[in-house]
Chains A and B, each alone.
Chain A
Amino acid sequence: MQNPYLPYPVRIDEIITETEDKNLKTFKYVFLNPEDEEKFAYRAGQFAELSIAGKGEIPIGIASSPTEKGFVMFTVNKVGLVSSHLHAMQVGDIMGIRGPMGNSYPWDTLKGKNLVIIGGGFAFTTLRSSIIYLLDPQNRSDYGNIDVIYGARTPGMLLYRDELAEWEARDDINMHITVDGTDDPDWKYLTGFVPTIADQKAPPGDDDTYAIICGPPIMIKFTQPVLDNNAYSHDHIIMSLENRMKCGIGMCGRCNIGREFVCKDGPVFTLAELNKTPKEY
């Protein structure tokens, strides 16, 4: 019997400090046993438990894309015991990864559809995974127009800034990068909160257009009415949730919203599905 609680051993291969407050770091991992990388086959939107012996585990969205081989990547905010310890670890250190977990964004449903991807703050990790996946030459023609609205408090708080600039220069993806405010005279993108920018830039909703939203609760709260006004039906609004987790496989009992477990039945739900569950997230 495969033990679903046993992490794959991994080595930290690279650490990138992403944001000016140094609270967000990206960790690139390689598997100690190459066959484990095959077992860890994942889809954009899934997450995994990062496991540090002696500290515990944290559920983190996978920031690398299944089209990127040879490593897996996670961007971690420094919050509690495990993430603080992780932020103090070094390249070469050994730890564990358990997963992949959860359902992913519904890539089969989204085939042939236009997408507007709306992200805020550091909740951009699985959206990065999704964008890399979508822009892969193997996949790009399977999907329609792609709009990305991504905002952070300041330019220095945006994740993956080099990649954002690369995507900005492409003609097969429409980037709408925004910050809440900045006094940087060289800032050449947008200024304004994500909901406001979404109102201006999101394509109108129709049967062939889906919105994927991932961000802090306040952003989601004010973005949803914008999408409602732009005629997005609730089964075309796709959201990724977070809840406290331990097992990650639907057994330990804490992350449920009604009968659904965020870890196993989610973390991705349509707004139509969420409307039918208690709002315990």
Chain B
Amino acid sequence: MEIIKIKKDHLATGLDALKKSYQLFGPVKKDSCHEFKRLEQDEQPDLNFTNTRLSPKALIYPQSETMFTYSLDENAEDAHILKEAVKTDVPKAVIGIRPCDADAFLLVKRNFDAPDYKDPYWLNAYAKTTLVGLACENPHKTCFCTTSGSGPFSEQGLDILLVDIGDDYLAKVLTDKGAALAKAAGWDTPADSDSATEDIECLKAAAEESISSSVDTDHLKELDTTALHQAPFWEDAAFACINCGTCTYLCPTCWCFDIQDETCGAKGTRMRNWDSCMFPLFTMHGTGHNPRGTKKQRVRQRFMHKLKYYVDKYENGTLCTGCGRCIRACPVNIDIRKICNQMNHYNPDTVEEPAS
């Protein structure tokens, strides 16, 4: 693995060069928040940020995406027959994604890249995207990545990891995709490998040290699913929830979707849209019966999915990278760290019966 040195003023030159062959995306400040957006010809990312308000999941998995097109014109030869929507094949590169968010793509990939079925939309978008991460040197107080299988300098899922060392960035080139991007950008000054590695390790240790919050996940796997599902604390956890869906909207690992047809005149598209387990319609049967008809059932589903079902299904940790967005944005202060710890330490044998 190669480490290169990029002078800060050379970053912009490189990005401008990349725009010839890549669609570039990066964090840009809008009003009081940073969001990922397409970088226009003369636009540079603003890398002076903690993390974006929305996760960058939409870069791989758009909030609304056309799957098929169709014609309802009875004179058309292919009336009523769905045809695959045309997709562009331009490579994309995301500059400045945080390691936790790159990690999230790997967790979500397990859903879309199953042994028996492959989701072509997600997988094609992921395959043509190069992720240039930016190590987190000043984590937020709601970040808990180090106990969620990720970390402020985590390299998982990244093609390049940038580390800010003052006047320069050190760029760890992690994959062939990353090497191709560095070459296209003209970033080719090798760093002194030993001292660069030492600098990075030193900053990494400091960043990990500065993460002050954590979750316990060591018992989740062994807990009995039905006992945990019936635990009394769900009532309390869901009490304040207003089912607004902000958590699922912001979350880098929430992938649930809906499929809808939209017709305009005789032409139309079948599209998929982000959906949310917080909404009653998500599970409502045609008969009106709803297996998750109460908000307690829906809140429980969200946490059980992330912290128990996913853990059991893939045996590879939780469906959470500790980015802390849901904690920061929840209007009623529901805190996944608290609920995760409650779940992890739940013992049905020591639960007190409610006073009658």
Contact = CB atoms under 8 A, between A and B. Distances in A.
Contacts of B301: 256, 280
Contact of B120 (A1, A94, A252, A256): A1
Contact of B305 (A3, A244, A256): A256
B117 A277 contact: no
7 contacts: A1-B124, A4-B119, A6-B84, A9-B80, A250-B117, A251-B255, A259-B310
A55 B263 CA distance: 9
A243 B291 contact: yes
B260 to A, nearest CB: 7
Contact of A251 (B111, B287, B309, B310): B111
B258 A252 contact: yes
Interface in A48-71: 51-57
A4 B81 CA distance: 15
Interface residue SS majority, chain A:
loop
Contacts of B38: none
B268 A254 contact: no
B259 A57 contact: yes
A185 interface: no
Given A4-B120, A258-B229, 13 more contacts: A1-B124, A5-B68, A6-B84, A55-B261, A96-B80, A244-B285, A250-B117, A251-B255, A252-B259, A252-B275, A253-B277, A256-B305, A257-B291
B282 interface: yes
A276 interface: yes
Interface in B280-297: 282-287, 289, 291-292, 297
B336 interface: no
The 4 A-B pairs with the shortest beta carbon distances in the complex, nearest first, are A253-B256, A79-B286, A259-B309, A53-B70
Contacts of B312: 259
A254 B272 CA distance: 14
B2 to A, nearest CB: 32
Report, as a range, how many residues of chain B touch the other chain: 35 or more
B215 to A, nearest CB: 20
B165 interface: no
Interface of A: 1-7, 9, 32, 51-57, 79-80, 83, 93-96, 217, 242-244, 246-247, 249-259, 264, 276-281
B268 A53 contact: yes
A54 B72 contact: yes
A56 B259 contact: yes
Contact of B80 (A93, A247, A259): A93
Contact of B292 (A54, A93, A96, A280): A280
B261 A53 contact: yes
B347 interface: no
Interface in B249-282: 255-261, 263, 268, 270, 275, 277, 282
Given A6-B82, A56-B259, A242 B117 contact: no
A4 B226 CA distance: 32
Given A258-B229, A280-B291, A246 B120 contact: no
B123 A1 contact: yes
B30 interface: no
